[in-house]
Structure 1
Amino acid sequence: MARVGMGQPTGAFLVGELERLDQTLNLPLVGYTYSRDVQFREDVSIADDISSWTNTSFGAAGSGANPNGKNWIGKDSTAIAGVNVNIDKDGNPLSLWGMELGWTVIELQAAQQVGRPIDAQKYDGMQLKWNMDADEQVYIGDTSLSVKGLLNLDRVPVSNAVKPWAQSTPDEIRDSINTLLTNAWKASAYSVVPTDLLLPPEQFAYLSSVIVSSAGNQSLLTYLKTNTISYHQNGVPLDIRAVKWLKGRGVSGKDRMVAYTNDKKYVRFPLVPLQSIPVQYRGIYQIVTYYGKLGAVEPVYRETLSYCDGI
């Protein structure tokens, strides 16, 4: 009969020799989409405290007795109308973000011995926190800084759906989207039809599951991309995407959808990427500090955005 060695527990052999440990770092399940839904303003630097922009408006009166008419002049005219220019400046703070990572050389060597370096793990955790904070800043801003995000900007028109999409027909859903797009088109003096539509996850999933039989058994989501005024005016399919922050974002906790154009000409986000200082040594400790700056969404042409609640 085979015997186990004296003083050697059978469990120790199994754990030490037969266990297969997966060295993959399984990070927390976190989704962030801010880099997908807004373009960055890249001219800002770590030395800047405020990011600002201007909007120019013009005023010009017609000639003669009709100030709203065309600027006709005679061959001997001496009183000729001109153009008035008004420049308004707006801006938001650029807030400094930072995090310090530290460990002892003993911790570092012990973690490397088991194949999970603590410096890399802490760096991954810091990057995750940076992306989570940037994601929230882009979409809903920050109450402590009194700044808004893409989904809750002030002075953006808010309409209400006739009824929730779960109780609507495909045609009624399409009408609600076209109404939202038309509101932004009208507010921009019929110059810009939004190219992008953001939805709460549940409504996005609902559009994916509803089949439009009259369109050849394609999903309502696919059907809407080419059957709204956005496609017929812009020549490209409406880009429909899901955003978790839209759940309950509307007035009285209603779900909200947002129409806008993802172009830095109309809306953008100032961001100074993370940078670090050299590693500092304090006894057996190693410390490195990372820092960057996050601004607030800049709606350069606020009139190109529109919200709809109650979907």
Structure 2
Amino acid sequence: MKFQNMGTFDGGTVVSSPASAAVPQRFQTMDAAAIANGGAFLSSELEKRDNTIRQPLTSFTYGRDIPVRVGGGWAEFVSAMNVDYGVTGGSEDGPVHAGGANGIPMVQANFDKGLFKTHVFSVGMRIMWVDMQREKLTGRSLESILRDGIRTTYDKHMDANTYVGIKRYGSTGLINNPNVVTANATGTGAESSTKFKDKTPDQILQDINDAILAVWAEAEYDRDAVPNHIIMPYEQINYLATTKVTELAEKTILQFLLDNNVAKTNGSDLYIGGCSWCKGAGAGSTDRMVVYLNKERYLAMDELAPLSRAMTQPNAENVCYDTAFMANISEVQIYYENIMRYVDGI
């Protein structure tokens, strides 16, 4: 049996191949095919595939900073009933009764109904029929990937609706309500600075206590209306959480504030947290701190119809399946406008 000379192989290069011209491409060796295609064959076969799908980096904090009520359907408005009381002569000496009096003061109630707008959130998902068949080869679900994208879009929308509202529809949020009293932080820091980083822990505590007391005073010092929630930019909250009260102390400024604020003294468990929407939200693009009551009695947002798959149908013209996702959401409802205060320049 006689062997035909197929050429020599030296250092990854075919040196000579006298019979190669007569050999069809499909009969070449694996080495020859790899060399001819720049190693693409080996690369595709020997690569290690990372099965993790890395989604965009983002954060949502709306569920932490406002009560979200679920249910109500596809209503166009959310109503809330308020009542004010009055009595003839006032409640101090008006009800004092004397012998021989022929009448008593009567209590009266003034009812007022507030209306809050809702809006429909809707977004679609389209999956090509061919891509659905390819899922069987790739092992990945395109529908699952797109569904995660829809949920991310919904959460970003809810975050914006909570903090700044939807400008096109004339709604506002937690940090830009025009009816909320706005104050400037006191200039007690170095060189009369209003920023927290230029102040001592005691001066920062004074700013927070002043805001808490101002809100509580507007609520006529109702024991249930002691502010319990503060949000500020991450820059400030991280400074407070990582800076010690003094060089010799182990306690951070944040812990010092949580332990010694006037809200805690009056039975309220104060929360202080970071919120990206507070950055530059104040007058003149200054940083804003929001002090308020985070309780359903005082403010809330309704998720009347939670995000759900509304319908799916085949689309023969485009050879795909179209799916609609929808939800019905209310604007931020602040029932007592005096239970919130903005402090700018921190």
Say if 2:45 is the partner of 1:17: yes
Q: Which moved more, 1:158-167 or 1:243-252?
A: 158-167
User: Which residue of the partner structure matches residue 3 of structure 2?
Assistant: none
CA distance in 2, matches of 1:273, 1:181: 34
Give the number of equivalent residue pairs.
306
User: Which residue of the partner structure matches residue 195 of structure 1?
Assistant: 228
Aligned mate of 1:175, from 194, 203, 206: 206
User: Which residue of the partner structure matches residue 19 of structure 2?
Assistant: none
Say if 2:176 is the partner of 1:148: no
CA distance in 2, matches of 1:50, 1:112: 46
- Contact 1:61–1:69 at 8 Å: present in 2 too? no
Work out which of the two has the higher radius of gyration on C-alpha atoms and give 1 or 2.
2
CA distance in 2, matches of 1:295, 1:204: 29
CA distance in 1, matches of 2:150, 2:81: 35
CA distance in 1, matches of 2:114, 2:248: 46
CA distance in 1, matches of 2:71, 2:123: 23
CA 1:136–1:11: 2 relative to 1, 3 Å: same
CA distance in 2, matches of 1:215, 1:181: 29
User: Which residue of the partner structure matches residue 116 of structure 2?
Assistant: 92
User: Which residue of the partner structure matches residue 191 of structure 2?
Assistant: none
CA distance in 1, matches of 2:61, 2:95: 49
SS of residue in 1 equivalent to 2:31: coil
1:97 Cα deviation after fit: 0.9
User: Which residue of the partner structure matches residue 15 of structure 2?
Assistant: none
Say if 2:269 is the partner of 1:243: no
- Contact 1:151–1:249 at 8 Å: present in 2 too? yes
Deviations 1:243-271 (A, max 9, x none): 00000111111111011122111110111
1:30 Cα deviation after fit: 1.0
Query: What is the letter of the counterpart of residue 173 of structure 1?
Result: I
CA distance in 2, matches of 1:75, 1:215: 70
User: Which residue of the partner structure matches residue 40 of structure 1?
Assistant: 68
1:70 Cα deviation after fit: 4.5
The aligned runs of 1:1-311 (5 Å cut-off) are: 5-9=31-35, 11-46=39-74, 48-62=75-89, 68-162=92-186, 163-191=194-222, 192-213=225-246, 216-236=249-269, 238-271=270-303, 272-283=305-316, 284-311=319-346
The alignment-based identity, stated in percent, is 26
CA distance in 1, matches of 2:315, 2:147: 19
- Contact 2:94–2:105 at 8 Å: present in 1 too? no
1:126 Cα deviation after fit: 0.8
SS of residue in 1 equivalent to 2:80: strand
Deviations 1:189-218 (A, max 9, x none): 111211111011111011012201399421
CA distance in 2, matches of 1:109, 1:200: 47
CA 1:235–1:54: 2 relative to 1, 3 Å: closer
1:234 Cα deviation after fit: 1.8
- Contact 1:112–1:118 at 8 Å: present in 2 too? no
CA distance in 2, matches of 1:168, 1:53: 42
1:174 Cα deviation after fit: 0.6
TM-score w.r.t. structure 2 length?
0.83
CA 1:104–1:157: 2 relative to 1, 3 Å: same
- Contact 1:61–1:68 at 8 Å: present in 2 too? no
Q: Which moved more, 1:17-26 or 1:132-141?
A: 17-26
Q: Which moved more, 1:26-35 or 1:114-123?
A: 114-123
Deviations 1:112-144 (A, max 9, x none): 422322111111111111100110000110111
TM-score w.r.t. structure 1 length?
0.92
CA distance in 2, matches of 1:168, 1:137: 33
Query: What is the letter of the counterpart of residue 55 of structure 1?
Result: N
SS of residue in 1 equivalent to 2:217: helix
CA distance in 2, matches of 1:112, 1:225: 55
Deviations 1:62-112 (A, max 9, x none): 38xxx8515122354222111121112212211011011111111122244
- Contact 2:218–2:338 at 8 Å: present in 1 too? yes
CA 1:225–1:289: 2 relative to 1, 3 Å: same
Query: What is the letter of the counterpart of residue 219 of structure 2?
Result: S
CA distance in 2, matches of 1:88, 1:147: 20
